[in-house]
A and B are shown apart, each in its own frame.
Chain A
């Protein structure tokens, strides 16, 4: 991975840590499992990607490992709206 991408990922991660959650684009996903394999707390990110569901898992650290490692750009951070479903 180039340095440019590493810096960008880090910047994205800082924002996401405070205010985001991970969202998949399932049409880009081939279920390889790199996301699930690298999740430090064992969330099955791949299963969410199959269903096209956001990872609104209470234990998700939004560490960004899955986003950074996905070889196909399936995952991205989205800002959580604390006053609607994000606060559930």
Chain B
């Protein structure tokens, strides 16, 4: 039996762990085009700020990998051959498989403006991208950041902490408008401004200027700005081309059933590249969330060994740090459309952006703030900023669809101390 896992991210590693945890023998080959193998891609943000060394991003030692007993083959998969049950590597080598997992993730949506290929135009997909950003930051003075969501802020904060003057361009009138409400956006914007970031609203990039290196840009309204670095994060795109070319069912991501299996029974998909059928809602969804990629990889790995485990999609949630403020986003907190993000962003879930049929309850000031989406009998979503004490209970309350009837009126009361009400509800629940 030979298992091939394409991709060296968390979904791939979780799959290999699952195959081995099942006590299965057989050869496992991980194929990846990132020369560095498995490291924490979300951790790149903290490498940029200087909070940790790049060597610290690697969670596993050689011994750990030896225990899992798999081979890492660096290379780019150029073709899938489902009929022959083989993959082509760098256009020349062929590797056959019995079961295949595609876990190649997603990549930054390219900027579609003239000058996007100039030196000094950067994105944040890989460790090499992060190193390139630091190289430019050493000699750059001014950077312009374009895009919405988490990655754009990580770029802004990373550059700022390296002593670069940062301008942040937003097409819309506020930051991450499809997930955060206006008050939350303003908190983040104010904190960014206090740190020294200059925000420009209703601003759209038209052209990046320079001979071989970036030296400035032009906006759609005709204004120009000088800069040495242009960093962008306008959304991500699942790397589904290989699968599409091979005739697998692909929508925006590779379509799988609830067993993470594609329309070819020997091929599975997991992580940011997968668009997974959710029996609970009847829809196929892309989640670009690290822990869900791990869950999916785990289930896919088990099913590759012949098990038949349903992937149970946990409530999508993400913890992130926005302008230094730890923020947890749970379930549906939706606000609709955001002009700054094309499709889905890294660390995002399509569920976040659904408009829940709910009443909003909120409390707190500035750095400690809670917003709840209160449904008829359940909580549908929450945003917790600052103090995270109640975010674990909220995750559970939303995920388990717990009956909140006993606290619903208290939550919706005028000037309700929401955190206290939730803590009280949670202690009673734990006591029972």
Give the size range of A's interface with the partner: 20 to 34
Query: For the complex, what is the distance from the CA of A1 to the CA of B320, rounded to whole Å?
Result: 14
User: Which residue of A2, A36, A47, A71 contacts B46 across the interface (Cβ within 8 Å)?
Assistant: A71
How many angstroms between the C-alpha atoms of A4 and B386 in the bound complex? 10
Which of A2, A50, A69, A71 contacts B59, CB < 8 Å?
A: A50
For residues 29 through 84 of chain A, which have their beta carbon under 8 Å from a beta carbon of chain B? 29-34, 36-37, 46-47, 50, 69, 71-74
Kindly state the separation between the CA atoms of A2 and B391 in the bound complex, as whole angstroms: 19
Query: Are B56 and A71 touching (Cβ within 8 A)?
Result: no
Roughly how many angstroms separate A27 CA and B314 CA in the complex, as a whole number? 10
A47-B59 in contact (CB<8A): yes
0/1 interface trace, chain B 314-335, chain A, CB 8 Å (1 if under):
1001011100101010000000
CA distance A73 to B320 in the complex (A): 9
Q: Which of A2, A8, A73 has the most CB of B within 10 A?
A: A73
Across-interface contacts of A4 in B (CB, < 8 A) = 367
How long is the Cα–Cα vector from A9 to B392 in the complex, in angstroms? 18
B172 within 8 A of A: no
Q: Which residues of A contact B391 (CB under 8 A)?
A: 73
Let me know if B187 is at the binding interface, CB within 8 A.
Answer: no
Q: A33 and B314 in contact (CB under 8 A), knowing A25-B392, A72-B319, A73-B388?
A: no
Contact B326–A72 (Cβ < 8 Å): yes
Please determine whether A28 and B52 come into contact, CB atoms closer than 8 angstroms.
no
Q: Contact at A33–B56, with CB atoms within 8 Å?
A: yes
B314 to chain A, nearest CB (A): 7
- Taken together as a complex, chains A and B put the C-alpha atoms of A25 and B392 apart, in Å, by 8
Is B71 an interface residue when CB atoms closer than 8 A count as contact? no
Complex Cα–Cα for A67 and B317 (A): 20
Q: In the complex, A25 Cα to B326 Cα: how many Å?
A: 15
Assuming the contacts A28-B319, A37-B53, asked whether A1 and B46 have C-beta atoms less than 8 A apart, the reply is: no
0/1 interface trace, chain B 282-298, chain A, CB 8 Å (1 if under): 00000000110000000
B319 surroundings in chain A (CB, below 8 A): 28, 72-74
* Chain A min CB distance to B407 (Å): 23
* A residues near B56, Cβ cutoff 8 Å: 33-34, 36-37
- Residue on A nearest B14 in the bound complex, by CB: A50
CB distance from A45 to the nearest CB of B (A): 11
B320 to chain A: which residues have CB within 8 Å?
A: 72
- State how many angstroms separate the Cβ of A56 from the closest Cβ of chain B: 20
A residues near B37, Cβ cutoff 8 Å: none
Measured between beta carbons, the chain B residues less than 8 angstroms from A33 are: 40, 43, 52, 56-59
A 1-14 to B, binary, CB cutoff 8 A, 1 in contact else 0: 11010001000000
Q: Which residues of B contact A30 (CB under 8 A)?
A: 40, 42-43, 290-291
**Closest CB-CB distance, A8 to chain B, in whole Å?**
8
Q: Complex Cα distance A33/B42, Å?
A: 10
Q: Which residues of B contact A27 (CB under 8 A)?
A: 291, 314, 317, 395
* Bound CA span A36–B61, Å: 13
Closest Cβ of chain B to A46, distance in Å, is 6
Q: How far is the CA of A29 from the CA of B367 in the complex (A)?
A: 22
Provide 28 A-B residue pairs closer than 8 Å at the C-beta atoms, listed in order of the A residue: A1-B324, A2-B367, A8-B387, A27-B314, A27-B317, A28-B291, A30-B40, A30-B43, A30-B290, A30-B291, A31-B10, A32-B40, A32-B52, A33-B43, A33-B52, A33-B59, A34-B46, A37-B52, A37-B53, A46-B59, A47-B59, A69-B51, A71-B326, A72-B319, A72-B326, A73-B319, A73-B328, A74-B319
Name 17 extra pairs, CB < 8 A, besides A28-B291, A31-B59, A32-B52.
Answer: A4-B367, A27-B291, A27-B314, A30-B40, A30-B42, A30-B43, A30-B291, A31-B40, A31-B43, A32-B40, A32-B42, A33-B56, A34-B46, A37-B53, A37-B56, A71-B46, A74-B319
Chain B residues in the interface with A (C-beta under 8 A): 10, 40, 42-43, 46, 51-53, 56-59, 290-291, 314, 317, 319-321, 324, 326, 328, 367, 387-388, 391-392, 395
